[in-house]
Chains A and B, each alone.
Chain A
Amino acid sequence: MSVRSGTEDEQVAPAVAPPLVAYVAVLVVYVALGYLLRSVVLNWIVGPLFLLAVLHLVPRLVGRRGSGDAG
């Protein structure tokens, strides 16, 4: 993908969507949390970011920690 901004062009690795089962699993977790916690997760900030957080940010954070511990 070419993400163009201003004068800068950067080439990044092609997107690979997570497998469908990952989406379903995150959806089940989100619905369960939403059922129990309502306003904490069923809102305009947490809601749209939940997928990104669980499928990308958390694994990245865990990966970094893992590599940091190994080092």
Chain B
Amino acid sequence: MSWAAHEFENYFLQKHVGLKASFLAIALGTFGPDLFTKAFVYSSDDPAQFHRGWPGVGFTHSFIFGLVGGALVLATTRSRSWAVGILIGQWAHVLTDICDSAGVMPFFPFSTEPVTIGMWKHAASLGRYGDATAYYSSLGGVWDLFWLLMLAAFASRTLRPSYFRNVIVPADPRAWGWLHRRLRLPEQGLLLLYQGFCFYGLGRMTAWFLRARFADRAPFQPVWGGPRYVQGNDLSDAGPLEVIVRTGVGGALFIVFVLLCWRLVLRRLWERGEDPPSVIRGRGLAAIFH
């Protein structure tokens, strides 16, 4: 699993969608896969299987989970910005978690084959603290740092007050307006809430890394498949070719399923959906990205 990378990704995604997705929805989308499951993962008998596999709650780390979530949001709120935000946030989470040894089932239920590049070990079997220590002793911690640097290099302007005022609020005036009224927060308070996700990512990355080095004294092993002191927990014995074939078939079926859903349901939901006044959407990918 990835830790702080999920917080940094939000701003990076926001930069590419601009006014076309709600930041709060993106944040909820990236939290989504772990939000209702993580508390149970550490207490299960086989955390990796439970978290990412099937049977288990691995379907939360699949593209269909984000699609269903986005569709439900669109059906109930009519907000396109929220539907798109939930979708791309959740999909970003799925893609990011491909990096650990447990992997994800991106095309569940059409393929239950875990897809992983095994960059670092999924270490939930060590409990929450052990998991954090292992993550920040492996390339996982470097992955977080990579996303922080990406944010700093290419999307730092998304953290500025002017961006918050000109893009973040106009993309989702209802939610920010509600927070403004209900919590009696002035713009500075809302800005701090917005920046708080980045702050949290930076803070927890630093704190867990320091704990791993100085409190737990775990060896720092930023090598592929590390840390070495954690046992491997791959969910599948399939070879690379098997994984590619199964995932390819699953992916093709998933695309057919999405197209079918679009023609039968999603297009109607999208057409009756609403956008904030300042949002102008194009067609195809231009409906989401700018």
Query: What is A's interface to B at a CB cutoff of 8 Å?
Result: 1, 3-6, 8, 10, 12-18, 23, 26-27, 30-31, 34-35, 38-39, 42, 44, 47-52, 55-57
Contacts and interface: CB of A to CB of B under 8 A. Distances in A.
A10 B186 CA distance: 11
Contacts of A16: 161, 188
B193 interface: yes
Contacts of B78: none
A47 B204 CA distance: 8
Given A15-B165, A30-B203, A55 B192 contact: yes
For chain B, which range describes its interface: under 10, 10 to 19, 20 to 34, or 35 or more residues?
35 or more
Contacts, number: 115
Given A15-B188, A48-B200, A5 B174 contact: yes
A18 B190 CA distance: 12
Q: Identify the interface centre among A1, A10, A30: most chain B CB within 10 Å of its CB.
A: A1
Interface string B153-168: 0000000110011000
B187 A12 contact: yes
Contact of A38 (B35, B165, B211): B211
A35 B210 contact: yes
Contacts of B211: 35, 38
A43 to B, nearest CB: 9
Interface stretch (B12-20, B140-148, B176-184, B232-240): B176-184
B253 interface: no
B41 to A, nearest CB: 14
27 contacts: A3-B180, A4-B173, A4-B174, A5-B177, A5-B181, A6-B177, A15-B161, A15-B188, A15-B191, A16-B188, A27-B203, A31-B206, A34-B206, A35-B210, A44-B31, A47-B199, A48-B196, A48-B197, A48-B199, A49-B196, A50-B203, A51-B192, A51-B193, A51-B195, A51-B199, A52-B185, A52-B189
Nearest to A5: B177
Given A5-B174, A15-B165, A50 B199 contact: yes
Contacts of A3: 169, 173, 176-177, 180, 187
B228 interface: no
Contacts of A13: 186-187
Which residue among B35, B164, B192, B195 has the maximum number of chain A CB atoms within 10 Å of its CB?
B192
Given A13-B187, A15-B164, A35-B211, 11 more contacts: A5-B180, A14-B187, A27-B199, A34-B207, A34-B208, A39-B128, A48-B200, A49-B193, A50-B196, A51-B195, A56-B189
